[in-house]
Structure 1
Amino acid sequence: MGRLLIEGIPFHVDTMGGYVGKPIGESDWMPVDQDRIDLFSEATEDRNPLHVDPAWAAANGPFGSTIAHGFLTLSLLSHLSRSGELQPDGVDYGINLGFERIRFLAPVAVGDRIKLRVTLAEIKPRGAGKWQYKLRCTVITEKTGKTALSAIWLVLFVSAARAGEDGRPFG
């Protein structure tokens, strides 16, 4: 999987303008199993039986099995984006600035796999060596092919060498 390169346009921070409005990549498939759901449930103290009680979810829930928390799916975007090598060359790191228009559109059933697809929506320079990217993110499920999550992710990419004396992103 990984980067979806456009012929003749390097995947580098200096040339990413050529990718605006276009898909830039997708992650590998990632399994969502009950252990992952249970660990997230414990960390967030969200112990809804729809997520953590397979017998209850099968007998009483609307989906026939447990499902991942929507926030679990959202929290996996960092990992999924790294597996897809979606950080442009020429930057040292990215900082999560938040999200716009988060939507949970379909459940992620236990045992399913998810994949992230990313389109570069916008780039704004934010000073020397800093660029704010708007990434249109879609998480799909393997079993149904449905979109489980849609969001606009704001990321500040920083080239420490170009950012000034200390390379701090907010200095």
Structure 2
Amino acid sequence: MREIASLEQMKTLIGSEVAVSPWVEITQERVNLFADATDDHQWIHVDEERAAAESPFRGTIAHGFLTLSLVPAMLAAALNMVDMKMGLNYGLNKVRFPAPVPVGSRLRARLTILAIEDIEGGAQVEWGVVIEREGGGKPVCVAEFVMRRY
């Protein structure tokens, strides 16, 4: 895990990839729990038999929004912002899912600081996030994630 001591140090890293998260395994159980939490039970995610027979992916795949929802945890596992007392998810500027995530995949995030803007009591940080699948040729998610740190 990388440590960044201060906001001033973060500002020197704008434009740089600053961290890579540990791998996260995408299990069928995780996909099913996400389906239950979001009421998105589309068969390509939860019906293993049908997905094996009918899906072009030859098995179940994770929801794109499941992949996206892992961004805050991946960031927290990859980076310790020592002087930050509280961080808030503020939103997203862009999100794309260029490739599917077959169940059984392992994912990790590459994190780049795109911009930092001072705000009252803290800073707004725009992160470039590229989530890659182990052994995959294309990213499974590319996003601009905005957080506020205090």
Q: Which residue of 2 aligns with 1:121?
A: 114
Question: Which AA in structure 1 matches 2:62?
Answer: A
Q: Which residue of 1 aligns with 2:62?
A: 68
Match of 2:48 among 36, 54, 61: 54
Q: Which residue of 1 aligns with 2:71?
A: 77
Q: Which residue of 2 aligns with 1:110?
A: 103
Aligned partners of 1:13 and 1:89 also within 8 Å: no
| Structure having the larger proportion of residues in helix | 2
- Could you report, residue by residue, the CA deviation over 1:97-147 in whole angstroms, capped at 9, with x for unpaired residues? 0001110110111001000110000000002x3100000001000131420
Structure with larger Rg: 1
Give runs of ≥4 in structure 1 deviating > 4 Å. Answer: none
Give TM-score, length-normalised by structure 1: 0.84
Aligned partners of 1:37 and 1:51 also within 8 Å: yes
Q: Report the 3-state secondary structure (helix = DSSP H, G, I; strand = E; otherwise coil) of the residue aligned with 2:132.
A: strand
Question: Which AA in structure 1 matches 2:91?
Answer: G
Match of 1:147 among 128, 139, 143: 139
Q: Could you say which structure has the greater relative contact order, defined with CA pairs below 8 angstroms and 6 or more residues apart?
A: 2
Q: Report the 3-state secondary structure (helix = DSSP H, G, I; strand = E; otherwise coil) of the residue aligned with 2:7.
A: coil
Question: Which AA in structure 1 matches 2:18?
Answer: I
Q: Which residue of 1 aligns with 2:92?
A: 99
Runs of 5+ consecutive residues of structure 2 not aligned to the other structure: none
Q: How far apart in 1 are the matches of 2:132 and 2:68?
A: 12
RMSD, aligned CA: 1.3
Give TM-score, length-normalised by structure 2: 0.95
- Could you report, residue by residue, the CA deviation over 1:14-59 in whole angstroms, capped at 9, with x for unpaired residues? 2211100000101100000000000000111111110001110011
